[in-house]
Amino acid sequence: MQALVIAAHGSHLNPDASTPTYAHADTIRETGAFDEVREAFWKEEPHFREVIRTLESDEVFVVPLFISEGYFTEQVIPRELRLDDWDPDKWESDGTSASQVTLEATDVGKTIHYCGPVGTHDAMTDVIVQRAESVTEDPDVGEGVGLAVVGHGTERNENSAKAIEYHTERIRERGRFDETKAVFMDEEPEVDDVTDFFESDDIVVVPLFIADGYHTQEDIPEDMGLTEDYRLGWDVPAEVDGHRIWYAGAVGTEGLMADVLLERAADAGAELGDAIDRVRQRTSTASGADGDAERHSQAGD
């Protein structure tokens, strides 16, 4: 038997924080590729600490639903899962290249394939592009359009910016959008000035965040000038400084994220049959772009 555990942050304050986690877990459940699929959280239940013991499978694939390699993926999750032999060096990563390492969870004696975060997987590039398709409702979006990928920045963790730049570069190389740029919340180039960095009239803005919350639903919309007060909502597209801003909200809510989770598990040796193809087929039409301007989310803590 094999199990998939999706390890996400969750929130004590915001019930929406776990919504994408549940949605992607359900997509994967419906493929039947795993005998068991579990959501696990740092701030909700089941906690990382107690999730493995809820499984009957001997072989467990743990995929962090996080954007970058850093504090949570390198320290918190392995510690809470009791992966005693874990060492970040075992990923042999340059900051965005972690794939997996096989360990044992010492409380249950199960084999744990501890995977790199979804945010740094190559398949994530496709999710960002699809998010742009979703928000513009244009499956061919690109020509005459600029794409801004928004990241948190380096304040907490340098790998966070690396992940943003990695995908931005991959999208740029494809030549699909007239311009593709990385912008950040707490470092230059800042998302506040997004219109300064683009010549295109239309700019699609995709935050590389897992869930909608304080940053994606309050901070960024106000900082970009989409709205004076997030509680009033904003238009999609919204007119700012002579540009039309198509603000997508968190990329992690895109249905295709389920594919990235599966790819991570497959890279770690999970037997998935044709599940990846089926999930791609099911989620490859743009989805989940609700703009959601009325959302009154609070910050996850």
Instruction: Indicate whether 285 belongs to the interface with other proteins (CB under 8 A).
Output: no
Instruction: Indicate whether 58 belongs to the interface with other proteins (CB under 8 A).
Output: no
* Angstrom distance (rounded) from CA 197 to CA 139: 24
The piece of 39-47, 143-151, 245-253, 289-297 that touches other proteins (CB under 8 A) is 39-47
Instruction: Out of 155, 228, 271, 301, point to the residue binding other proteins (CB under 8 A).
Output: 301
Instruction: Out of 61, 63, 64, 76, point to the residue binding other proteins (CB under 8 A).
Output: 76
Phi-psi region of 113 (alpha: psi -120 to 50; beta: other; left: phi over 0): beta
**Residue 53, phi then psi, degrees to nearest 5:** -70, -10
**Residue whose C-alpha is closest to residue 3's, from 48, 47, 33, 46:** 33
Instruction: Out of 49, 90, 172, 244, point to the residue binding other proteins (CB under 8 A).
Output: 49
Instruction: Indicate whether 296 belongs to the interface with other proteins (CB under 8 A).
Output: no
Tokens of 257: 């994220």
DSSP 3-state percent helix, strand, coil across the chain (nearest 5): 40, 20, 45
Q: How far is CA 236 from CA 14, 221, 296, in A?
A: 24, 11, 17
Instruction: Indicate whether 201 belongs to the interface with other proteins (CB under 8 A).
Output: no
Instruction: Indicate whether 12 belongs to the interface with other proteins (CB under 8 A).
Output: yes
Instruction: Indicate whether 107 belongs to the interface with other proteins (CB under 8 A).
Output: yes
Cβ at position 130, least distance to other proteins in Å: 25
**Residue 128, phi then psi, degrees to nearest 5:** -60, -45
The alpha-carbon radius of gyration of the chain (Å, integer) is: 19
Cβ at position 85, least distance to other proteins in Å: 17
Cβ at position 12, least distance to other proteins in Å: 4
List residues near other proteins by CB under 8 A: 11-15, 22, 26, 42-47, 49-51, 53-54, 56, 71, 75-76, 79, 107, 301
